[in-house]
């Protein structure tokens, strides 16, 4: 069964049409990567899934339920969680407080999830009393992902987790995503400009160009396509 299905979705801001009839599917247990250049509409797609902005037309369903018009908090309660671009952690709150906020959506006892996130990211355990705003870029990304995991999501949405990070940290973040997928069956929808690593990680991928899907295939298929190599991998 399809876990997430966008069917011919349009969305935008005022006169800007950022998504022009996008159809994608994510199946349970998959890592799906959406690649696209700056302004292609990647963030808009993830935000539209969460209900803000609303789809102007088309249909979005999650685990068979139509969520196109559902309020954002109800969508989150169904089992989606997002680590947004720019991380959006709370800079004055401690690491621990930031993580506990992530559990509020789900309304369950946060203690086991906190232990789990600390096991996934030992660095966050070490830094649990430190204010979020004083963490390094890589640590902030770990916190953003950790916070999303606190709600025990079935579908994790990641918006450019590699943005602005050193190659070693990017590898560590992507390794963690792979491990969560393989060991726990976590389903992931990842949007990235870092096409090479993101497509290597993915079971399947889509290419988004100015609000439209232009290519789809397995990660390996897309990596082998000359158009992808030229546009997103510097022709190498
Ligand atoms: P990037 O990688 O640079 O973040 P993106 O692929 O995530 O790009 P979006 O942020 O989804 O792209 O933007 C898609 C289009 O919508 C762009 O033309 C952008 O200028 C426009 N846009 C995004 N947010 C808004 C907004 N709040 N108001 C008006 N236009 C917006």
108-124 residue pLDDT tens = 789 999 999 999 999 99
Helices (DSSP H) in the chain: which residue ranges?
42-49, 72-77, 95-104, 111-120, 122-126, 137-149, 167-184, 195-201, 219-224, 226-232
Q: Please, which pLDDT band fits residue 65 given cuts at 50, 70 and 90?
A: very high
Token digits for 125?
């355990």
**Is the distance from the beta carbon of residue 164 to the nearest atom of ligand 1 less than 6 Å?**
no
pLDDT band at residue 235 using 50, 70 and 90 as cut-offs:
low
The pLDDT score that the predictor gives to residue 222 is 96
Could you tell which of 16, 86, 88 is best to mutate to test the pocket of ligand 1, judged by most ligand atoms within 8 Å of the CB?
A: 16
More confident site: 12 or 236: 12
Contact criterion met (CB below 8 Å) for 66 and 60 = yes
Give the separation between CA 226 and CA 231, rounded to whole angstroms: 8
* Alpha carbon distance 10, 29 (integer Å): 26
- Give the ipTM: 0.91
How far, in Å, is the centroid of ligand 1 from the Cα of 40? 7
All domains in the chain, ordered by first residue: 1-79+157-236 (3.40.50.300), 87-153 (no CATH)
């Amino acid at each position: 069964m399809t876990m997430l299905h966008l069917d011919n979705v349009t969305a935008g801001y005022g006169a800007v049409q950022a998504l022009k009839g996008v159809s994608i599917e994510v199946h349970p247990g998959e890592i799906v990567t959406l690649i696209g250049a700056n302004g292609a509409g990647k963030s808009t797609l993830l935000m539209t899934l969460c209900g803000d902005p609303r789809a102007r037309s088309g249909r979005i369903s999650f685990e068979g339920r139509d969520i196109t018009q559902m309020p954002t908090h109800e969508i989150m309660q169904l089992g989606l969680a997002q680590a947004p671009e720019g991380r959006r952690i709370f800079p004055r709150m401690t690491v621990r407080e930031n993580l506990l906020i992530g559990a509020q959506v789900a309304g369950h006892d946060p203690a086991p999830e906190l232990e789990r996130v600390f096991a996934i990211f030992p660095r966050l355990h070490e830094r649990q009393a430190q204010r979020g705003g004083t963490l390094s870029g890589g640590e902030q990304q770990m916190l953003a992902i950790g916070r999303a995991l606190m709600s025990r999501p079935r579908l994790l949405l990641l918006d450019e987790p590699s943005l602005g990070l050193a190659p070693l940290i990017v590898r560590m973040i992507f390794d963690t995503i792979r491990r969560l997928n393989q060991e726990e069956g976590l389903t992931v929808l990842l949007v990235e400009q870092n096409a090479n690593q993101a497509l290597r990680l993915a079971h399947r991928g889509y290419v988004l160009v100015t609000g439209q899907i232009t290519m789809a295939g397995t990660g390996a298929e897309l990596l082998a396509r000359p158009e992808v190599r030229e546009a997103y991998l510097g022709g190498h």
